[in-house]
Structure 1
Amino acid sequence: MFRFLALITVVAAVFFAATQLTAKDAPEGWVQYTPEALAAAQASGDPVVVDVFAPWCPTCRAQAPILDELRLDDRLADATFIKVNFDENKAFLRAHRIPRQSTILVFKGRTEVARSIAETNRMRLRAVVLNAI
């Protein structure tokens, strides 16, 4: 029994470590959040879509293909898409009153024009983002 529990513990630790290592970089086409990256994107005047995610979040994983689809939409060709890691950017969360991971924000300049929390329905999430631009 002890060996079984030890094996489960090791497997869980390896899985957790692997997700943490791969979560550091933003996916292709996305900008990894820094205060400077957000400020520059907002200063451009183009729309900014911010995905507040956590690598362990199943809702975030469900949102990811919808957001990638939006990123490739011609209507958002000028938009900047920024990933904010929920576990690593607490100052951003406080400044923008983010209640949880899986929150999507849309900015025009420095003004937040749309927000979605934990939405995984493709049509509703697309509507929130596209209606804001």
Structure 2
Amino acid sequence: MNRRLFLSTVSALLLAVAAGPLASAADKVVPGFNEAAAAGVPVLVHVTAPWCEVCQAQKPVVAKLVGNGDFAAMKKFEVDFDSQKDVLQKLRVQSQSTMVLFRNGKEIDRSVGVSDPAEIEAFMRKAL
């Protein structure tokens, strides 16, 4: 087997393993995640830090949307960037102000550093 084929095969296998069941991995560090995923509700994981200005701008926008109107069924889990490193590792999040959307327990999209209310709403609509 040539080296290039071997490396691409190993890379594909590693990606498949890493992209395994996020829902079960997330539930081990974010209590309630699996229940929300099993219920079929859209889920938003919001990674924030108290010192992050973008996070502080995102929070009121997310709070206004989640649980209201079209987003009434959406479940939000907030993760602290500084103290919940295990969650960051499981979800492969590398920076604060990250929002990860799940539908039926599977990640469908993520956003980093967006604070415009219209953009946040459009992002969250992807899970509906």
Q: TM-score, normalised by structure 1?
A: 0.70
Backbone CA RMSD of aligned residues: 1.6
Matched, 1:81 2:97: no
Deviation, 1:113, is: 1.0
Alignment of 1:21-60 (within 5 A): 34-60=29-55
The residue type equivalent to 1:111 in the other structure is K
Instruction: Tell whether 2:122 aligns with 1:127.
Output: yes
Which residue of structure 2 lines up, in the alignment, with residue 106 of structure 1? 101
Deviations 1:61-88, CA, capped at 9 Å, x for gaps: 0101110121143111111111111112
Contact 1:46 1:80 in 2 (8 A): yes
* Structure 2 residue matching 1:101: 3-state secondary structure: coil
**Contact persistence 1:114–1:129 (CA under 8 A):** no
| Helix, strand or coil at the partner of 2:31 | helix
Residue-by-residue CA offset, 1:12-32 (whole Å, 9 max, x unaligned): xxxxxxxxxxxxxxxxxxxxx
Any unmatched runs of 5+ in structure 2?
1-27
User: Which consecutive segments of 4 or more residues in structure 1 shift more than 2 A?
Assistant: 33-36
Q: Structure 1 residue 99: deviation in Å?
A: 1.5
